[in-house]
Amino acid sequence: MKKVIFALSLVAASTAFAQSIKLKGSDTILPIAQEEASVYNKSGKGSVSVTGGGTGVGLAALVDNTTDIATASRKIKMEEKIKLTEAGKKVKEVVIGKDALSLIVNPANKVTKLTREQVEGIYTGKIKNWKQVGGDDINIVVYGRESSSGTFEFFKEHVNNKKNFASTVLAMPATGAIVQSVAQTKGAIGYIGMAYDNAKVRQLAISYDGKTYIEPTRANAKSGAYPIVRPLYVYYTSNNEAKVKSFIDFIMSKDGQAIVDKVGYLAL
């Protein structure tokens, strides 16, 4: 009888240890989160389910208590912190890696480089045709992320000089949709997390001083030469710390950081 009770206790302890964790948020971080969760789930330490939707969506879910971890490609806003405080929650922040943001065009486009000011002109609607920046006489079709995206927020602040986008910018629900749209549209331009780059689109070199143009390569991003690099975050609340700690520790471990690099981002 004692053996049976002991065995049941072990099962209960194992079940309690193997936590079921929900992770939601940044579309940029989605490839990292999916791969980290896949490896972690096989370890038997717990079960992590991953969904995207955007940084704002993830942080709103953290407020609503419908996710255990929110992923974010920009820092949490003060109003989001206030909502968590009002809900009686203390938020914890962890930087899990870095990402370089790149501008992409259709491979048929002969433009290979732009200044930051030219990019701003395109996204504010002042530059409407590729011939204005040394390209063919073809209208520019501009793609971006929707406003709930952390990538949208970061791009607007650090590349677009905090200027509002033109009403003609086409807001896409996911980064993959931008890649697909630019690949299919000759005059298109869009911005993506560098790990989403593929052979169907072409990345542009960018200059912040109007003289030196830097290619968005991993080496340039790691060295600091490429100017559009940002930290990637996970957020959770202190009341859930015990539940999520094992998974967060895994992401920050040597194996977890190797996954960040493998997926195409920059490990810490």
Say which CATH number the domain at 198 has: 3.40.190.10
Which tens digit of pLDDT belongs to each residue from 32-57? 999 999 999 999 889 999 999 999 99
pLDDT of residue 101: 94
Instruction: Answer yes or no: is 34 within a domain.
Output: yes
Instruction: Answer yes or no: is 181 within a domain.
Output: yes
Which tens digit of pLDDT belongs to each residue from 126-140? 999 999 999 999 999
Total tally of structural domains belonging to the chain? 2
- Based on the domain organization, do 204 and 137 belong to the same domain? yes
- Based on the domain organization, do 150 and 254 belong to the same domain? no
Work out the pLDDT band at 18, boundaries 50, 70, 90: low
pLDDT of residue 255: 97
Task: Name the residue with tokens 């969506």.
Answer: 57
Residue 254: which domain range? 2-98+231-263
